[in-house]
Chains A and B, each alone.
Chain A
Amino acid sequence: MKKFIVAFLFISGSITFVLAQTKDECYNCHSELGGQPAELFKNDVHFQNGLSCADCHGGNNKTDDMDAGMSKEAGFKGVPKGNDISEVCAKCHTSSEKMKSFGAKIPTNQFELLKTSVHGKLSINGKDRIVQCITCHGAHGIVKVTDPRSPVYPLNIPRTCSNCHSNSVFMRNYNPGLPIDQYEKYRTSVHGILNGKGDPKPAQCVSCHGSHGILETSNLNSSVYAVNIPKTCSNCHSNKEYMKKYNIPTDQYEKYSKSVHGIALLQKNDTGAPACNSCHGNHAATPPGISSISKVCGTCHALNAELFSSSPHKEVFDKNKYPECETCHSNHLIITATDKLLGVSKDAVCSRCHTPEKNPEGYKVAKKMKSLIDSLENAQKYANSLIDNAEQKGMEVEDEKFELRDAHQALLEAKTAVHSFNEKKFDDIVVGKGLAVTSKVAKEAQASIDDYYFRRKGLAVALTITILLALGLYMFIKRLEKKQNKE
C-alpha cells in the first residue's frame, strides 16, 4: 500500500511538473535562449510552487509568440525597478489567502515591517526604499530560509548583511558614523566562531536585530535598544533546552535582573547602566578574560579599577587566577556594594581570604578600614543630628550643611579608596578629610545650638534691665507728678 502511495505521488508530481513546463511559454523560451535568470529560476521556490515569470514580470505566458506574450496589451511590465520590486513580492506575501493557497505558513506582515524599518527609509535616489526584498533574498533563485543555499539561512546571514554593512562606500551614504567592522568582530565572537563552524544555532545578525522590522538601536522598540538588550540575549541564553549543548549556565538574566545594574536599567530605565553587551561586547560578544575583568568594569568604574590595578591584590589575584572584581562583587548578580562587604565579619568578603591565622596583616588592615569607615559614618550622622537640632531651633546652619557635603564626599572617596587596599591612603581620606570636616561641622553646629540658648539668656538679662529701668522711670514719674500736684 505504502509503495503504491509513493508511486502515485511521484507520478502525479512528475505529470504536474511536465505540464507546467509545457504551459509556461516564458520559461520555455528563456530556457532555450539560456541565461542566468531562467537557470536560477529552475530551483526557485516560487517556480516549484507553480508560479511563472509572468506572475512577477507580467505578460502572457500561454502564447509562444514572443511579441504577443511580451506586449503591453498582455500586461508585460519588464524588469521591476526600485519599490516596484517589493510591491511585486507583496502582491502575494501580504495576502494570507494566497499564501495559504500555496500551502505556505509564513507570516504576511514582512512588507509592512520592512516599510517601517530602518531599511524602509528612502534611499539616496529619494524615491525608493533603501532595501528591497531581493536585496537579502535574491531574485530568481529564491529558496526557503531553511535551505542552506539561501542567503538568509543562519549560516549565510552574516555575509548577506555584510554585503552592505561592511561596505564603507555604501554605508557612508546613509550613516557615516555607523561602524563597518561588525562582520569582522562577529567572526571573533563566540557566536561567530560557532556559526563559522557550521552551527546555525548561535546568534547571528537577525537573532538580535530582527529581520524585516529592523529598527535603529536608538529606537525604544528596537530589540537592541539598551533596555531591551538583556531580554533579547535571554531569548537564547535563558532557554535551557536551546543552550543544553553548550553547557553554560542559563540563569544570567535572572541574576542580572536582580543586580544593581539590572535594577537600574530594567526598573529605573537608566540607559547609562550596563546591559549584557557593556561587559561582553556586542558583535564580538565573548566572556571577558580573568585578567581583563577590572579593565571591563573599569570602563565605568575607572577609579576603582585603577586603584585595584596598582594594589597588592592585582598580582596575587593574577597568580591565583582569581577573576578580579568578580571575586568580591560577583558577576551577573552584582548587588549594591555596602560597608558590610568590608572588614572581617561573617558577611564581609575580606574574611574569605584574610583570617588571623592565614593572613594576619591583611586581616588587621581590613578590620581597621572597616572601623574607620564606621567612625566616619557615625561622625557624619552625629554632625547631621546637631545641624538638624540647630535648624529646628531656627538657627542659620546653611554653611555647615554645605560643609558636611565634604564629609559625604570623603566617605565616597574612602569607599573607592578601599580598592587600593592601602592603609595609609585610606587613613588620609577618612581621618584627614572626612573626620576633620565632621569634627569642624559638629563644633560649629554645637556653637549654633549654644548660641540659641545664649540668645534666650541674653534676652532674659536685657528684659530684666529694661523692666527695672521702666519701673524706675514709672516710679520717678509718679513721684514727680505727686510733687507737681502738691505744688
Chain B
Amino acid sequence: MKKLLQNFYKWIDDRLQVKGLVDYMGKKYVPVHRHTIWYYFGGVSLFFFIIQVITGILLLFYYKGSSDLAFESVKFIMSKVQFGWLVRSIHGWAANLFILSIFIHMFSVYFEKAYRYPRELTWLTGVLMFFMALGFGFSGYLLPWNELSFFATRVGSDIFGVIPIIGEPLKEFIRGGSDVTGATLSRLFGFHVALFPGIFTILLGLHLILIQRQGISEPLHYKNEKEIKNKKKMPFFPNFMLRDLLLWLIVLNLLAILAVYFPAELGHKADPFSSAPAGIKPEWYFLFMFQSLKYLPPHIFIVDGEVVGILLFGIAGLLWLLVPFWDRKSPKGERNRLINYLGIFAVMFIIILTILGWLS
C-alpha cells in the first residue's frame, strides 16, 4: 500500500514537480502559544466555503431562479429530491456558521494585530471577503422566495436607500426596480451564484497565496521572547493541516446534527400584496446594525437619524478595513491599547445589540 502511494506520488511529481511545493510547505511553521486555537478558524471558514460551493452546485441542479418557480423548486428539493432536504439544510446552516467563523477569525486576527506589516494586503482581502460573505447571506436569503425572505429583503434594501446621494440609485440597482419583485430575485440569484463566487474566489486565492508567502503571523509577545528555545512551533505540513482536518471532521459532525435536528424551514410563498408579518427581522448577522438604527432618534440635529447611523456604520467599516494603515504602534512591536479597547467595544456592541435585536 505504502509502495503504491509512493509510486503514485512519484507519478504526479514527475509531471507536476510538486516536491518543491511540499518541501516548501514542510518548512513552514505555525507558532504554538496560548492563542494558537484561533489560527484554526481561517481553515474552518475555508471548509465552510468549500461546503457552500458543493451544496450550492447541488442545489443549482434543481433550483429555478424566477418568482413563479423559486418557491416551488425549493419545495421540490425539500420534499422530492433524494437528500435534497439535507443539502439545503447544510447549505443554510453552513452559511450561518461560515459568517460566524469569519467573524471569529477576523476578530482574532485583529486582537493578535496579525494585520500589521507586512500583512496589510492579507487583512484587506480578508475584510473584503467578510463583506462579500455578508453579501452572500443577503442575496441567498431571498432565493427561497418565501414570505420571511421577501419582507426581510424589502426592509434590508430599504436601508440602502437611506445612504445620501447614492442610496436611491443603489437601492434600485439591488432591487432591479423600485420594489422587491421577480427582477430582484433574478438579480440577487445572479449575484449569489456567479458574481460573488467569482470575486470571492479571486480574493480567497490572493488571501491564501499571501498566507503561504508570508507565513503565519507570530504574536507580538512571541517576537520578544529572548530565548529561541521558548518559541514553540509546529510544521504547517503535515501537523497543522492534519489538525485542521480533524477540526473539519468535528465541524462536519456539528453541521450534520444541526441539519438533521433543525432542518431549514420554507414557510409560505411570498405574496407581494400581503402585509408584512409582524416582527420582521433580518438575519442575525445584520441584526446589530438593524437594532442600532431602531434606537436612533428620528433626527440628530438637522440630519435624519437613520442617515447618521448608516454613515457611522460606513465610517466604522472603512476604519476597520484600513486598520493596518492607522495602527502605527503594532508594526513597531509596541502594545496598542486603543486597538484593544476599540475591538472589545466592537465585540460587545455587536453581541449586545444582536441579543437586544433577537429579543425585541
Q: Which residues from chain A sit less than 8 Å from chain B, CB to CB?
A: 394, 396-399, 455-456, 458-459, 462-463, 466-467, 469-470, 473-474, 476-477, 480-481, 484
In this assembly, does B78 line the interface, its C-beta being within 8 Å of a C-beta of chain A? yes
Q: Which 7 A-B pairs have the closest CB atoms?
A: A396-B79, A470-B249, A459-B260, A396-B78, A473-B246, A477-B242, A466-B253
Cross-chain contact A480 with B245 (CB below 8 angstroms)? no
Distance of A474 Cα from B246 Cα, bound (Å): 7
Name B246's contact: one of A396, A398, A477 (CB within 8 Å).
Answer: A477
In this assembly, does B281 line the interface, its C-beta being within 8 Å of a C-beta of chain A? no
Q: Of all chain A residues, which has the CB nearest B78? A: A396
Main secondary structure of the interface of B (DSSP, over half): helix
Name B249's contact: one of A458, A469, A476 (CB within 8 Å).
Answer: A469
Report A476 CB to chain B, min CB distance, Å. 7
Cross-chain contact B242 with A462 (CB below 8 angstroms)? no
Cross-chain contact A476 with B257 (CB below 8 angstroms)? no
In this assembly, does B154 line the interface, its C-beta being within 8 Å of a C-beta of chain A? no
Report A201 CB to chain B, min CB distance, Å. 57
Contacts of B257 in A (CB 8 A): 459, 463
Q: Which residues from chain B sit less than 8 Å from chain A, CB to CB?
A: 75, 78-79, 85-86, 234-235, 238-239, 242-243, 245-246, 249-250, 252-253, 256-257, 260, 263, 266
13 contacts between A and B (CB under 8 A): A396-B78, A397-B79, A456-B260, A466-B249, A467-B253, A470-B253, A473-B242, A473-B245, A473-B249, A476-B242, A477-B246, A480-B242, A484-B239
Distance of A473 Cα from B249 Cα, bound (Å): 10
Distance of A91 Cα from B263 Cα, bound (Å): 83
Report B1 CB to chain A, min CB distance, Å. 15
Distance of A399 Cα from B257 Cα, bound (Å): 26
Report B275 CB to chain A, min CB distance, Å. 23
Report A427 CB to chain B, min CB distance, Å. 33
Cross-chain contact B256 with A470 (CB below 8 angstroms)? no
Cross-chain contact B85 with A477 (CB below 8 angstroms)? no
Contacts of B239 in A (CB 8 A): 477, 480-481, 484
Q: Of all chain B residues, which has the CB nearest A463? A: B253
Report B224 CB to chain A, min CB distance, Å. 26
Contacts of B243 in A (CB 8 A): 477
Distance of A466 Cα from B248 Cα, bound (Å): 10
Contacts of B242 in A (CB 8 A): 473, 476-477, 480
Given A463-B256, A476-B242, are A470 and B250 also a contact pair (CB < 8 Å)? yes
Q: Of all chain A residues, which has the CB nearest B262? A: A394
Contacts of B86 in A (CB 8 A): 455
- Name which of B85, B249, B263 has the most chain A CB atoms within 10 A of its CB: B249
Cross-chain contact A399 with B79 (CB below 8 angstroms)? yes
Distance of A480 Cα from B253 Cα, bound (Å): 24
Report B243 CB to chain A, min CB distance, Å. 6
Contacts of A477 in B (CB 8 A): 239, 242-243, 246
Given A473-B246, A480-B242, are A455 and B75 also a contact pair (CB < 8 Å)? no
Contacts of B253 in A (CB 8 A): 463, 466-467, 470
Distance of A476 Cα from B245 Cα, bound (Å): 12
Report A144 CB to chain B, min CB distance, Å. 63
Distance of A137 Cα from B253 Cα, bound (Å): 96
- Name which of A396, A455, A463, A470 has the most chain B CB atoms within 10 A of its CB: A396
Report A485 CB to chain B, min CB distance, Å. 11
Report B110 CB to chain A, min CB distance, Å. 29
Q: Of all chain A residues, which has the CB nearest B260? A: A459
10 extra A-B contacts, CB within 8 A, seeds A473-B246, A480-B242: A398-B75, A455-B86, A459-B257, A462-B256, A463-B253, A466-B252, A467-B253, A477-B242, A481-B234, A481-B239
Distance of A246 Cα from B201 Cα, bound (Å): 95
Distance of A398 Cα from B239 Cα, bound (Å): 49
Distance of A480 Cα from B237 Cα, bound (Å): 12
Contacts of B75 in A (CB 8 A): 396, 398-399
Report B39 CB to chain A, min CB distance, Å. 15
Contacts of A459 in B (CB 8 A): 256-257, 260
Cross-chain contact A394 with B263 (CB below 8 angstroms)? yes
Given A396-B78, A396-B266, A398-B75, are A480 and B238 also a contact pair (CB < 8 Å)? yes
Q: Of all chain A residues, which has the CB nearest B247? A: A470
Distance of A462 Cα from B250 Cα, bound (Å): 12
Report B30 CB to chain A, min CB distance, Å. 13
Distance of A484 Cα from B26 Cα, bound (Å): 13
Report A183 CB to chain B, min CB distance, Å. 50
Report B71 CB to chain A, min CB distance, Å. 11
Distance of A398 Cα from B249 Cα, bound (Å): 35
Report B255 CB to chain A, min CB distance, Å. 10
Distance of A466 Cα from B260 Cα, bound (Å): 15
Contacts of A480 in B (CB 8 A): 238-239, 242
Contacts of B263 in A (CB 8 A): 394
